[in-house]
Structure formats: structure tokens, C-alpha cells
Chain A
Amino acid sequence: MKRPGRGIACMWYPIGFTVAANPSSAVVKVNEDGTATLLTGTVEVGQGSLTVLGQIAAQELGISADDVHVVSADTDTTPMDTGAIASRTTFVTGNAVRLAAAEAKSILFEVASEMLGVETEELEAADHKIRSKTFPDKQVALAEVAVRAQIVRGRPPLGSASFNPPTVAMDPETGQGKPFATYVYATQIAEVEVDDETGEVEVLRICAAHDSGTTINPALAEGQIEGGIAMGIGMALEEEILFDAEGGQVNPNLTNYLIPTSLDMPKIEVDIVQSYDPVGPFGAKGVGEPTLVPTMPAILNAIYDAVGVRIADLPATAEKILMAIKEKERAEVKQLGSA
């Protein structure tokens, strides 16, 4: 019989890594037509980081995402970056990008200040323009400022900057300290059906609520969360590298090492909780790794809710669940007998 169950799990996860400093640098060049080029040493690994970094540069300069071209991942042409690791790209590289864009912007502001007769502190960059914060009608097109900065004032608007997350070294004996600049939080609730005759689990629905600070790009954040859940389902129920007695892998192929496919995916409902991190770029934190962290316990707690067995040894294969159900039934019969 198929028995329904549901389980909840939450988590916390740090942004950036401990052990060593993990800085990022960035270079932003504003072109004569008001578009920009961003140089970053981070690597796009499929998560959409180049898009997000472009959005951060665009936001700082008051232009649109399409106005920023991103050049990445070349040790000769792009500046130092600790890399696409530790869910740090939005937070750490993003801060470097924002600071580099701000430096380029300060050159534009100095030139615009003369053009508009407005103090630089009174200026803002928004909607492809540089304008007075108090009298927005006093404005000039960003492209006009950029070309003037370069060919009249001889000051090409470019900026370079670095960022390293603020941490405090941990005491080696007590582990007390501030190992990470910030943390994100998440909760997932899984609904499953467990067949108590076969031990088979079907994950029907996952509700995922994730905090990532300010969301730079909701579509990409949702994509990360859905992808993380797929990975979490694999870890919860089926994936495992097996070894023979001589230390050789038994299943080093995708025929015998099973990963979830699109057919195994449940209905996923994502909520992104908005928070604001005072250190993050525009309040952003990160989203990459934490997405799969609550998935396994949410599913395992749902299995318990469905059939009353706790599997403490991942993955919770159908065999393990069925054996646990039989064990539980035997124990219950024994209890009845002794009563």
C-alpha cells in the first residue's frame, strides 16, 4: 500500500570559505557609448554567475544588463579571483564588481558635475543617465558623459577593485571566532509516497523557501534551487559509489550509478525570502550550495512520517526501507506476544 508522508528540514550555510583569505578583484571599463565591459577572473560553471555579475555592474552604473559585456576566466586578461567555489561569487566577486563599477562611476560623476553644475555627492546614476538626486530634471545621458570624459577630459572611466570578506580567525582550541562574513537560511518541506510492500519512495512535492539576501536575479536563483533539489533527491534515495573488496569501484558508470532524471523530479514550489545583508552587494548573499542541504532530511523525515521507520544511513534505498519496515513489524509482533 502506498502511504503518504511529509517532512520538514531547515539549515544554515555560510558564504565564502574559511581557512584562508578568499579575495576577488574586478575591472570595469565604461565605453564611449555608455555601455560597459567587465573583467572578472571567476569562471562560469553553469550557474549563471556572469549574468549576475553583469547585473551588479549595471546596477551600480545605472545601465541595463544588456549594456554590460562580461569577459571572464583567463589568467592573462582577467584579474585575480578565488574562483567559482563556496557559494561566494555573488557575495565576494559581486562586491569587487560593485566597487570597480563605483570607481569608474566616480570619474563619470566628476565630469558630469562640471556639465551639470551639481556637486558629485549630489549625483546618482540611474536609467542610463547621471542626474541630481534632489532635482532629477538636471540630468545628462551617461553616454554623453562617458565620451566627454574620454575625448575632452582625457580621463577614460575605468575602475578596478578587490574585496575580501571580513572574518576573524578561529581559536584553534575552542573554534571560537567569525569564520564567515555571513550565512543564508532555508527550509524545505517534502511530500512523499512510500510503498510499504516494496520500500519504494516517490517524492511528490517539495516546497522550498530560501533566503539569499537581496535576489539579484530571481530566475537564476530558482534554477539553482531546483537543480539543488534534484541533487538532494539523488543523495537521499539512490546515488552511491560502491567498492569491491580490493578498493575498485563497482559502478563507475551511469548505468549502475543512478542519478535522478527529469522523470524523477517532483513538483517544486520555490519561495525566495528577501533579507538584506549589510555587507553583500545591494544586500545579496548567495544561493549555490545550500539548495540541496535541506532536501535529504526533509525526504527522510517524510519517509518516517509515512511508514514510521528512520533510515540513518544514506541513501535510503527501497531495500533499506523495506528491511526497516519488516524489522519494525517483527518488533511490534514480539511486543504483542510478550504483552
Chain B
Amino acid sequence: MSERITKEKQAEAQRLLEAAPATHLPAVSPRLLPEVPALTPEVNKQTPAVGQRVSRVDIRSHVTGATRYIDDLSFPGMLHCRILRSAHAHAKILSIDVGEARKMPGVVATLTGDEIPVNSFGSTYQDQPVLAADRVRYRGDGIVAIAAETEQQALEALAAVKVEYEPLPAVFDPLQAMEPDAPKIHRNSNVYTSKVIMRGDVEKGFEQSDRIFERRYTTQMIEHVPLEPFASIALWEPDGQLHLYSSNGRITLGRADLARTLGLPMNRIRLTATIIGGNFGGKNEIRTEPILALLAGKTGRPVKAVFTREEEFIASTTRHPLVMDYKTGVTSDGRLLARSVNLVLDGGAYASWSETTVGKASILAAGPYRIPNVRVEGHAVYTNKTVTGAMRGFGAPQVAFAYESQMDEIAHSLGMDPLEIRLLNGFEEGSASHTGQLLQAVALKDTLLMAAKRSGWMEGGR
């Protein structure tokens, strides 16, 4: 009987598909979408495989909604977790009272920072608490986690938590945070990581230059906005192994961080990342996983947490805002002789991926140009703002905005075509980078000429 219905449904689905033009699938997909051949079956089956426009292995399930993200997963008895976040950008925590919250309907367990075996994490410096216990350094710091039967009950119980703060002076501007008398966020200095690149003699280069161009460029704080917010589920397997499903893009590091914060041997932790709905760098470290693991341990039940869109903004990482001072010396015929760059990265309240970002930004800051004299200095600075960390480009988009804006300004000022000045100065096969690396497979000028050809640049040239 059921087999016959299935066949009928399949026939119906097939009829619907065939009735519709290939590009117009029914608005609501039939419950049993029959296997139809991929759009380009021959490509996926062809050899050689490299260079083929192979269709993605997951494209069918993405398009039909069959892909299972963390929020689509559920386990028997699963609880839902919500986290109370700081009311202040910088404050001492005097007391945390969860007594009333525990009595709220549906609440099964609460967790505070002092219950976490090692309450710190971070990809380079472990300066960030999993849950803030004695001090908050930005508004996204979590303080109390609540596991309840429903997400709504957990949310309502957060309002019953009482936290007493003693506000501290805060600093939000990275340049102000570098001043000696600025409020200190972690240590004696808010500057927590620096990088210097030096090649040739930049002062001599400026002396030899016919023209000097100087400008300050600044960029903004940006959120990754993945379609899927950060999500995680913790459960303890019957054999005593902790199993985490998490939208984490770096499971090797994630497991190491979990082992450290929880004080567990690594072989007792299994971290499974599902297919992730967008990362762009924002899911490269642990967030709620240790909290859920401990709540699951306390309650003996699986615990899930999915960030709201607001939490994704305030409690995940973001792109570093940069203050960039560029000074470039050129000859009157457009050759770059010297460039000095000073970068200040707004690092937010915790280090996260700032060291890598300062490094990449500094290495790339002078641009893909042959410049005999270069000096770059980059600093990341703590502020009482949202944590800045890994994001697509790691400082490169910011410095490219600066060096390419300045190249344009130089070209216009010297009466040169912006394409011409780039071809004149650009890296070539075998050029030395600003760190003295001899470059190979350098396709810079090919890309310049190809884009110019495609756009009709020469035809519309000034």
C-alpha cells in the first residue's frame, strides 16, 4: 500500500517537474523530489577532473532545502541555552545572583564563569573569558548561561538574573587607547601586537623623490553576516565522550580549545562541523561550545544554542577598523621611490585573530609594487568595543583601499593614466616583495591588461 502511494507521489513529482520549464521549479517542492540527472552530468563524470565545471557535491541538497544545518538537528530531551550579556562596556562584576532565575518556569540549569575549569580562550593570546566572571570589557561579554526546556523560557529567565557592576572608564577610539593615560583594558599598554617591515632607507627615498603624497585613510567595523548564525549542540555519548556539533570552521583548533577550557583529554572530545552556512572568518574559534558542554554535563541532556542575528553582531567577531597613514615619494615620471605606512588596528576587547591580521596587513600594505624603500609599522590596540578578528582578507581589503586610492591620486596628479602607473611599478616575475621574498607565478600585469581589455579601458582612455 505505502509503496504504491510512494510511486504515485513520485509520478506526480515527475509530472510537476516536467510540466515546468527547467528554470522554474514549483514554488513548493514536491515532498518526494525524484532523482533527476544533474544539469551537467557529463562534466562530473569526465576525466581529467581538474579544470572541469563540476557541479558542487552539495548543490542539490542546498537548492531543495535538504541540507541539514545545526538548527535542523534535534536530540531527545534537548534543552535550549541563552546567554546574558554585559550591560556595560567596561566594568567590574561585583556579584551575580541566579537564585531567582533558577526558579523560573522551564529552567533546568544555569552556568557562570567561575564554574568553567579554565575560563579563557583565544587563538593567539588566551585573553578572552568563556563567561566573564569578575570583569566585563565590552557589551558582548557573556555573564550567565541558562538552559531551559524552550528557548523562550531561557530568554525570560535571563531577565531574572541580577548582576551588580562597578563601571570603569572605557575607551572606544584606538588612537585614544594608545595614549599613556587611556583606561587600560588588559595590561599596562593597550597596544598588544605590532609588526614592522623595513626595506631600504625610506627617509633617503623621500629625499630623492620629486613629489610626496600623504593621506590618512580610515575604514569601518563590519560584520560577516553569514546566512547561518553561529550554532552548536553539546551532548555526552553513553561511552563518556563529549560530542559537539558546531558551525566551527576550524575543528582542529576548536577541539584543542575545548580540551583546554574543559580540562578534558582530546580523545574524549569529538567535534563535528556540519555543512556551514557561510563563515567568512567569523566562525574560526569556539564561542558557546564549552558552555553547552558544561550545561549538558550538569543536566545529562543535550543542549543547543543558536545565535540570534543580534548576537551575531554583538558577540561574534567583526572586521578590524583601520587608521592608515600613507606617505609615498615618486619621481615626476611616476616611479615609486619610497613609501611609509603606519597602521592602527582597532582590536576590540580581546585579541582574537589580531596578530595574524596585523601581520597580513603590514606585509601587504605597500601594495604589489616595486618600491626600493619601504617602512611599514602596524599595531593592534584594545578598545572596549566588539571583538575584531578573522574576516575575509585579514587586513588586506583595508590596506588595498588605501594603497590603491593613493596610486590613483598620484596618477591623476602627475597626469598619468591610472593603468599606466600600475604597469610601470607593478611586481613582475622574480620581483622581490617588501619582505625580500622573490616572487614566482606573478600574474599582476596579466590581470591589469585583461581587466583593461574587458572593460574597454584603452578605448575610453583620457
Contacts and interface: CB of A to CB of B under 8 A. Distances in A.
Interface of A: 6-14, 17-19, 41, 43-46, 48, 50-51, 54-56, 58-59, 62-66, 70, 72-76, 80-86, 126-128, 168, 170, 173-180, 182-189, 191, 205, 207-211, 213-220, 228, 231-232, 234-235, 239-241, 243, 246-249, 252-254, 257, 259, 269, 271, 273, 275-278, 282-283, 285, 288-290, 292-294, 296-298, 300-301, 304, 310, 312-315
B220 A126 contact: no
Contacts of A293: 393, 396-397, 400
A85 B368 contact: no
A43 B281 CA distance: 12
Contact of A75 (B215, B251, B418, B444): B251
Contacts of A240: 220-222
Contacts of A249: 139, 313-314, 386
B367 interface: yes
Contact of B455 (A19, A178, A207, A252): A207
B450 A273 contact: yes
B447 A209 contact: yes
B309 interface: yes
Given A10-B444, A13-B364, A73-B251, 7 more contacts: A10-B368, A41-B251, A82-B253, A83-B251, A179-B437, A217-B54, A296-B397
B367 to A, nearest CB: 7
B89 A248 contact: yes
B462 to A, nearest CB: 9
Given A82-B252, A178-B435, A45 B276 contact: yes
Contacts of B223: 239, 241, 257
B57 A51 contact: yes
Contacts of B46: 64
26 contacts: A19-B355, A46-B275, A50-B58, A63-B47, A65-B49, A65-B54, A73-B272, A85-B284, A127-B47, A128-B47, A176-B199, A178-B435, A178-B437, A189-B452, A211-B443, A217-B51, A219-B53, A241-B313, A271-B451, A273-B446, A277-B440, A292-B397, A293-B396, A296-B397, A296-B400, A315-B220
A17 B390 CA distance: 12
A75 B272 contact: yes
B129 to A, nearest CB: 17
A253 B451 contact: no
B435 to A, nearest CB: 6
Give the 6 A-B CB pairs with smallest separation, nearest first. Answer: A247-B89, A83-B250, A297-B404, A175-B197, A252-B313, A211-B443
Interface stretch (B19-27, B286-294, B419-427): B419-427
A310 B278 contact: no
B5 interface: no
B450 A187 contact: yes
Given A62-B47, A64-B45, A271-B454, A247 B172 contact: yes
Nearest to B418: A8
Interface string B34-53: 00000000011111111111
A312 B447 contact: no
Contacts of B454: 189, 207, 209, 269, 271
B276 A43 contact: yes
A82 B222 contact: no
B222 A175 contact: no
Interface in B218-251: 218-223, 225, 248-251
Interface of B: 43-58, 88-90, 124, 138-139, 170, 172, 195-199, 215-223, 225, 248-255, 269-281, 283-284, 309-310, 313-314, 318-319, 355-356, 359-360, 362-364, 367-368, 376, 384-386, 390, 392-394, 396-397, 400-401, 403-405, 407-409, 412, 418-419, 422, 426-427, 433-437, 439-444, 446-448, 450-452, 454-455, 457, 460
Contacts of B363: 14, 18, 175, 179-180
B422 A8 contact: yes
Contact of B222 (A235, A277, A301): A235
A292 B56 contact: no
Contacts of A313: 217-219
B290 to A, nearest CB: 15
A59 B279 contact: no
Contacts of B418: 7-8, 301
Contacts of B412: 304
Contacts of A170: 435
